Amino acid sequence: MMMIVVWSTNNVGLVHGNGIAEEEAEQFSAMYVFGDSLTDNGNNNYLVNSLAKANYIPYGVDYYAGPTGRFCNGGTIADFLGDLVGLPEIPPYASPFATGTRILKGVNYASAAAGILEETGQNLGDRFSLNKQVQNFQNTLNALKRQLGEKDLSRHLAKSLVVFVLGSNDYINNYLALQGFGLRKFLLAGIGPLGCIPSQLATGLAPPGECVGFINDYVSMFNVQLWSMVDRLNANSSSGAIYVYGNTFGAFYDVINNPGTYGFSVADRGCCGIGRNKGQITCLPFSIPCLNRDQYVFWDAFHPTQAVNKILAQTAYSGSPSDCYPINVKQMAQI
């Protein structure tokens, strides 16, 4: 993802809560989001025994609704992508408000600390694993069927966008299960450069100014396999489904290595956190974050700022084949 997108990141305005004006028309009928803390928009708030929550200040300090459970100072990648394709903000599945007509434009199932394996994240308590997220989608499907009827539901699902932002290598069966439900358009995001996040820099495993190379090597191995899997899925698809690989690693790595090009001045430590690189302890309740948040690549020990999320969403939406393969999200909407 080496497309250069220069944003005035000091002006990440709030339009529909996220900072990107909606398109004139909806390009997808709905958006269904599966993932972890990078896209959780509040599901973990409703899990009593979860430690993976971001429902407190200073999380959401730049979001129109305040601390909603998003692990960021503002909007997530899914929020910005939703704006770009012309959809309104979608509710978290676990919210009591995710009912009736409120789910017609999509639902977010992402859960912080979630993974493919059931045991992933168990040290942080309750979370919705990918398998559980797919089960939750099935519940949504039943609710939609009652509202739309089978014929209209089939059209609705075929024109919906499915976004996966999770980091593991054995979730192909979940993709195929969703395809079996009638979904046809999938954006599968690769893993970003984890060796460059503040929590890893804080370990001292790399010289100052460098990322932890062996961790990025592991990530790259997974991403190569995911890219290859997208080719196989597309080659074997008999239902008209299209799978797209989002090269998150490339886009994020370019921002980290060329921060000035994108309007950033700090790329090696969090805006909110404690210790070396502000990455040894992540953002605690009522911590005081940096004031120039839009000049920081990282919000906390693990997550990017909303300014970076905006860039990543734009790149997935309209980037070249090296950014989003084999086509981008805007092109996918036209199919």
The answer to whether position 13 is within a domain reads yes
Task: Print the domain residue range for 78.
Answer: 9-333
Q: Where are the alpha helices (DSSP H) in the chain?
A: 77-84, 130-158, 172-181, 198-201, 213-236, 248-257, 306-318, 329-333
The pLDDT of residue 177: 75
The pLDDT of residue 119: 85
The pLDDT of residue 8: 30
Give the mean model confidence (pLDDT) for residues 135-161.
Answer: 97
Q: 12 in the Ramachandran plot: left (φ > 0), alpha (ψ -120 to 50) or beta? A: beta
Return d(Cα 145, Cα 152) in angstroms, integer: 9
Return d(Cα 122, Cα 281) in angstroms, integer: 19
Q: What are phi and psi of 234, to 5 degrees?
A: -65, -40
The answer to whether position 68 is within a domain reads yes
pLDDT at 1 over 60: no
The answer to whether position 2 is within a domain reads no
Work out whether the CA dihedral 229, 234, 236, 237 comes out positive or negative. positive
Mind telling me the catalytic residues?
37, 300, 303
Contact (CB, 8 A) for 87 and 105 = yes
Return d(Cα 25, Cα 261) in angstroms, integer: 31
pLDDT at 118 over 90: no
- Say which CATH number the domain at 238 has: 3.40.50
pLDDT at 22 over 60: no
Q: 4-18, 130-144, 202-216: which has the minimum mean pLDDT?
A: 4-18
270-307 tens-digit pLDDT: 999 999 999 999 999 999 999 999 999 999 999 999 99
Q: Are strands 242-246 and 185-189 parallel, antiparallel or unpaired?
A: parallel
Type and span of the H or E element at 114: none
Q: Structure pTM?
A: 0.91
Q: Which residue has the tokens 């939703």?
A: 82
The answer to whether position 84 is within a domain reads yes
The answer to whether position 4 is within a domain reads no
The answer to whether position 1 is within a domain reads no
150-170 tens-digit pLDDT: 999 999 999 999 999 986 434
Give the number of domains in the chain. 1
230-279 tens-digit pLDDT: 999 999 887 899 999 999 999 999 999 999 999 999 999 999 999 999 99
Return d(Cα 114, Cα 127) in angstroms, integer: 6
